[in-house]
């Protein structure tokens, strides 16, 4: 998930939950955005560039499809163990048991991890449209999954129904390898 999305979503959640407590909002945003510090650190370590602004710009284009003329280096997935819910959620929810003021932080971190989840398979709009058939070959016999026709990391729309389809395993393998 883009950093921008995390900033906006945690800000909205913070204001909705704590309309009169700006400090709690700030804490929730710190949790919701701060988790991506691991991306920044891994980026800086791999690129040798510690300027936060460069990392922010990198985050802006690293998910886009690569044009032939694009020779900029890419540094792969920038996730550390902190992006595993099983590691981080027990830590933050444990901390807020000891220090209840940290609850907004725990909420922010939880929101962040939830947004990073692959919700694709749960898109009921696609399942309803496909009515149990593979939308490419029509089979009902194989395991079906929701796929992106143009993956978001290649510039496809993340949420648009037109960019999602219910395909069987074989079609997925044929097209995406
Ligand atoms: Zn993240
Ligand atoms: Zn198929």
| Residues sharing a CB contact under 8 Å with residue 127, sequence separation 6 or more, in sequence order | 146, 166
The bound ligand whose nearest atom lies closest to the alpha carbon of 79 is 1
The bound ligand whose nearest atom lies closest to the alpha carbon of 77 is 1
Residue 168 Cα to ligand 1 midpoint, Å, equals 29
The bound ligand whose nearest atom lies closest to the alpha carbon of 171 is 2
pTM attached to this predicted model: 0.65
Residue 166 Cα to ligand 2 midpoint, Å, equals 8
Residues lying with their CB under 5 A of ligand 2, a single-atom ion? 134, 136-137, 168, 171
Determine whether 131 is exposed, middle or buried from the number of CB atoms within 10 Å of its CB (0-12, 13-18, 19+): exposed
- pLDDT above 70 for 118: no
Whole-angstrom distance, CA of residue 38 vs CA of residue 81: 9
Residue 100 Cα to ligand 2 midpoint, Å, equals 51
Token pair listed for 40: 């920044």
Instruction: Please tell me what DSSP assigns to residue 159.
Output: S
Token pair listed for 101: 């003021």
What pLDDT is recorded for position 61? 77
The larger pLDDT score, comparing residue 160 to residue 103, is at 103
Residue 77 Cα to ligand 1 midpoint, Å, equals 11
- pLDDT above 90 for 170: yes
The bound ligand whose nearest atom lies closest to the alpha carbon of 117 is 1
What pLDDT is recorded for position 64? 63
| Residues sharing a CB contact under 8 Å with residue 102, sequence separation 6 or more, in sequence order | 27, 92, 95, 96
The bound ligand whose nearest atom lies closest to the alpha carbon of 109 is 1
**Three-state SS sequence of 80-137:** CHHHCHHHHHHHHHHHHHHCHHHHHHHHHHHHHHHHHCCCHHHCHHHHHHHCCCCCCC
Q: What is the mean pLDDT of residues 48-74?
A: 80
User: 22-34 vs 3-17: helix axis angle to the nearest 10?
Assistant: 150
The neighbouring-strand residues paired with 147 are 165
Residue 101 Cα to ligand 1 midpoint, Å, equals 23
- pLDDT above 90 for 3: no
Q: What is the mean pLDDT of residues 76-101?
A: 89
Residue 156 Cα to ligand 2 midpoint, Å, equals 21
CB 82 within 8 A of CB 116: no
The neighbouring-strand residues paired with 167 are 145
What pLDDT is recorded for position 79? 76
């Amino acid at each position: 998930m883009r950093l921008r999305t995390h900033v906006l979503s945690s800000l909205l959640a913070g204001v909705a939950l704590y309309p009169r407590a700006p400090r709690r909002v700030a804490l929730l945003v710190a949790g919701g955005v701060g988790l991506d510090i691991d991306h920044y650190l891994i980026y800086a370590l791999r690129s040798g560039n510690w300027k936060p602004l460069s990392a922010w710009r990198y985050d802006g284009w690293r998910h886009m499809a690569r044009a032939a003329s694009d020779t900029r280096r890419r540094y792969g997935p920038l996730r550390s163990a902190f992006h595993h819910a099983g590691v981080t959620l027990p830590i933050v929810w444990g901390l807020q048991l000891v220090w209840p003021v940290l609850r907004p932080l725990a909420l922010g971190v939880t929101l962040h991890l939830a947004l990073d989840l692959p919700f694709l398979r749960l898109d009921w709009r696609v399942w309803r449209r496909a009515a149990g058939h593979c939308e490419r070959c029509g089979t009902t016999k194989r395991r079906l999954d929701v796929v992106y026709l143009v993956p978001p990391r290649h510039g496809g729309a993340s949420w648009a129904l037109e960019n999602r389809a219910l395909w069987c395993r074989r079609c997925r393998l044929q097209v995406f390898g």
